[in-house]
Structure 1
Amino acid sequence: MIVTGKNIKRGLGICAVTMVAAIAGCKQAGSGKMAARQDSLPAGDTIMSCTSNLPARFAAAASTDTIVASGKSSYTGMVKIPAGDYQMGASDKEGRPDEYPQHAVHVNGFYMDATEVTNAQFLEFVKATGYITTAERTPDWEELKKQLPPGTPKPADSLLVAASLVFTPPVKPVALNDVSQWWQWVKGADWKHPEGPGSNLKGKENYPVVQVSWDDAMAYAKWAGKRLPTEAEWEWAARAGLTNQPYTWGNEAVEKGQPKANIWQGHFPDQNTVADGFARVAPIRSFAANAYGLYDMAGNVWEWCADWYRSDYYTQAASKQSVNPIGPAASYDPDEPTVPKRVVRGGSFLCHASYCASYRVSARMKTSPDTGLEHTGFRCVKN
């Protein structure tokens, strides 16, 4: 994956092996204006939408075609989530437009990983299958150009390299509508080197695996005999039996009492007080589980869901109760209408109340499926 120059145009309607925009941080919501949090913040304060607005890039293809289930699938490390009915979406005025309207959903019971998939678990998968993640694959220009608009110029060979997005905090306050101030494409960044080639996983076997694309997560799930959760399953599990509460633990503000999740404290993105004990990703089980026994359903790393993302999906779903919904048939993001995206949930260590309060149970974001990021991982479910 690479950052391409301004002379590289985005393809229209191109599949995941081609040039897409990466979701990595936050840009101004809607048509470029910041969406003010209604009735809850003083005038001038804003809530930012973690959407894509980074330079376009080429991604290498990844496929689950050669992945075979290991045959060792079990419910070890999973918790049973009961069947139930709930109102999906934001019940207060804290949500973004795509969290409304609330709509009735029924989900059958299922099992869910108690934690995010760890580096140790992902390593076992890689050793067993020889799988190479999206971020580790070098784009093949001869194959890519077949799927791009005629005349698309070839980028420099030095740019056609395996890379991924790494959080690089600025040394001073910056405008929050320019994500390039804190995200950089780093050659050699991948799941084994989450912060770039100088980093490694020594002592981090129990940390969530990151820098994995949706394709990578799907490949792991297939091998493990599991699947990715639907967005409806994920929110139901995060709510853990609570009705219309904003957080997986209830309604107490995230800043009050003991640290409840791995998020950003201080001034985003240049000063982190590390009040919760972690500047970046935290080991699994570092914070209390919710009532269902699930850890890190808020903060730490974003989690891939199975669903395509559509900004108006909730409006379409509001007319009747949805039973085990699997999301829309295709993706549409008005901010980037040519880039198909999948849903991510739960927020990350970069979430802050003034910027990206996505540790709320109804908060939803979207990411192109071939994108790896330092703050994105996943967990699996099983029927």
Structure 2
Amino acid sequence: MHKMGIRSIALILIVLLAATSCSKKKRPTSLKPGKTSSKTGLAYNGKDGFEVKNFKALPAGPDLVYIEGGRFTMGSLEEEVMGRRDNEKRTVSINSFYMDQTEVANVHYLEYLNAVQRDSSEEFYAKALPDTNVWYNELSFNDSYVTMYLRHPGFRLYPVVGVSWVQANDYCAWRTAAVSQANNTAGQAAGKKKGFAISKKKRAAKADAAAVASSGPAPQLRIESGYVMPPYRLPTEAEFEYAAMAMIGTQYSDENQSNQRIYPWDGSTMRQPRGRKQGTMLANFKRGPGDYAGIAGKSNDGAIITQEIRAYPANDFGLYDMAGNVSEWVEDVYRPGSNKDVADLNSYRRNGFQDEAKNYDTKNSNSMINDNLRVYKGGSWSDVAYWLSPGTRRYMDQDSSTAMVGFRCAMIATGTHKN
């Protein structure tokens, strides 16, 4: 009897577990919506042509790092030595997104130039070329960098410079098309490769894949297919600042953060505070007038000008050179009052809306403000430590370029990262 009682209890537990697992399986998700509508009961993928198929979420594009969104204090935490008061502190929230692990390097931009030269007009190719003359200085012998920095193999993984905001956006558009093409090509492999490849049995967009495999120009995939990658773009100023601060892991369970950060690392020092590399610089920057790297052989940043990507420690999000090496373009137009008249969710400043350029006296040269001014952030090899603070900001015309400004790409995160 005792054994029968134990068996009965075990049988009941098994049935309950099976019922629980079945109920979990039936719960629809964005990736597995089920066979019928939970609101109408009508079948998906029926004769009416409404397709809602399961699909395996595409992995993030190459080099992208997932940045979990949240609340943070945006604005300058440093003393306002410039006296502009154009980035005072305020609390904003940022949705999750993806960002490049590193800055775009010379070899990556040369890949783009090769594609442009092959597939575009000479006029567009000429417009895509970085301005290598940004290295030229009448009072410095930087002449070799004018011809060598972009194309010499020794500088392949150094961040590209001399690129304007407009050129950076053009690169983002090309990269979107290039990665999407690689995605489509991998999809045709019918499960032979992992990553972007889609298994033959579970190919949710069968019609789209067949169209891609056919001869002739590749058609535009529908967003509903699930195999359209979001476009690459420049990060917004808020996204860049949030990703650079990397406050993840610094809070208590009650959401109170234990500290704030002046730089993308803890503390106010610019050197490794402990460990095997104690005393070495955490970023590539100018330490003072005429001091770009310190004394040879001692604890310095190891770079007179730029340095290879990944040469310095990553921040807590796993991003490299969010301070130093080169400053980076962001998407936003510049306005001195950006901290007062933007939304507190996914803050972004676009041109032609509020605080319009016509309100500034550019005609009489009493102001530089117009809709072509774009923000850049992060500090560079030629900047003192003040500009390495994520809250600091500067601006430049969108068609201008320098030897101190580069860029990296970002992308929206679709759906739930846990899926």
Q: Give the TM-score category using the shorter length.
A: 0.5 to 0.7
Q: Which amino acid aligns with 1:377?
A: G
**Cα distance, 1:85 vs. partner?**
1.0
Change (3 A) 1:99 1:254: farther
Higher strand proportion (structure 1 or 2): 1
Question: Deviation of residue 164 (structure 1)?
Answer: 3.5
* Residue 264 of structure 1: aligned partner: 286
What is the DSSP-based 3-state SS (H/G/I as helix, E as strand, rest coil) of the residue aligned with 1:313? coil
- 5 Å-filtered alignment, 1:180-199, equals 195-197=145-147, 199=149
Work out the CA distance in 1 between the residues paired with 2:244 and 2:163.
Answer: 22
Specify the alignment match of 1:89 in structure 2: 75
Q: 1:1-383 residue pairs with structure 2 within 5 A? A: 75-94=61-80, 96=82, 97-130=84-117, 132=125, 134=127, 136=129, 164-166=133-135, 168=137, 170=139, 195-197=145-147, 199=149, 200-225=151-176, 226-241=232-247, 244-254=260-270, 257-268=279-290, 273=295, 275-317=300-342, 322-330=344-352, 336-337=368-369, 340-353=372-385, 357-383=386-412
- CA gap 1:169/1:300 in 2 versus in 1, 3 angstroms: farther
What is the RMSD computed on CA atoms of the aligned residues?
A: 3.1
Aligned residues: 263
Tell me the secondary structure at the aligned position of residue 329 of structure 1. coil
Shift in CA distance, 133/327, structure 1 to aligned 2, threshold 3 Å: farther
Measure the CA separation in 1 of the matches of 2:233 and 2:344: 20
Match of 1:87, SS state, is: strand
Residues 1:312 and 1:301: Cα distance change in structure 2 (over 3 Å): same
From the superposition, tell whether residues 232 and 114 of structure 1 become closer, same or farther in structure 2 (CA, over 3 Å).
Answer: same
> TM-score if structure 2 supplies the norm length?
0.56
Question: How far, CA to CA, are the matches of 1:169 and 1:296 in structure 2?
Answer: 29
The 3-state SS of whatever aligns with 2:107 is helix
Asked which structure has the greater CA Rg, the reply is: 2
Instruction: Tell me the CA shift for residue 197 of structure 1.
Output: 3.1
Taking a change above 3 Å as real, the CA distance of residues 205 and 107 of structure 1, as seen in their structure-2 partners, is same
Q: Is the 8 A contact 1:167 1:374 kept in 2?
A: no
Structure 1 residues 381 and 91 mapped into 2: Cα distance closer, same or farther (>3 Å)? same
- 1:352 to partner: Cα distance: 1.6
Change (3 A) 1:223 1:132: same
Alpha-carbon spacing, 1:244–1:219, altered in 2? closer, same or farther (3 Å): same
Amino acid paired to 2:311: S
**Structure 1 residue 268: Cα displacement:** 3.6
1:114-150 superposed Cα distances (whole Å, 9 cap, x missing partner): 000111111111212225354849xxxxxxxxxxxxx
Whether contact under 8 Å (1:135, 1:372) holds in the other structure is no
Q: Work out the CA distance in 2 between the residues paired with 1:105 and 1:217.
A: 26
Q: Could you tell me which amino acid in structure 1 is paired with residue 265 of structure 2?
A: W
Contact 2:324 2:388 in 1 (8 A): yes
Identity across the alignment (%) = 31
C-alpha separation in 2, matches of 1:250 and 1:207: 26
Unaligned runs of at least 5 residues, structure 2: 1-57, 118-123, 177-231, 251-258, 273-278, 361-365, 413-419
CA contact (8 A) 1:115 1:295 kept: yes
Q: 1:73 to 1:375 in 2, by over 3 A?
A: farther
SS in 2 for 1:343: strand
Equivalent-residue separation in structure 2 for 1:370 and 1:285 (angstroms): 28
* AA matched with 1:126: L
Report the AA paired with residue 284 of structure 1.
I
SS in structure 2 of the partner of residue 337 of structure 1 = coil
Deviation at 1:205? 1.4
Q: Using a 3 Å threshold, how does the CA distance of structure 1 residues 314 and 78 change in structure 2: closer, same or farther?
A: same
Which structure ranks higher in relative contact order (CA pairs < 8 Å, sequence separation ≥ 6)? 1
Contact preservation (8 Å) 2:86, 2:337 = no
Q: Distance in 2 between matches of 1:340 and 1:269?
A: 33
Q: Does the aligned pair in 1 maintain the 2:335–2:369 contact within 8 Å?
A: no
Q: What secondary structure does 1:75 align onto?
A: coil
Structure 1, 264-273 or 249-258: larger mean CA deviation: 264-273
2: CA distance, partners of 1:217 / 1:291: 26
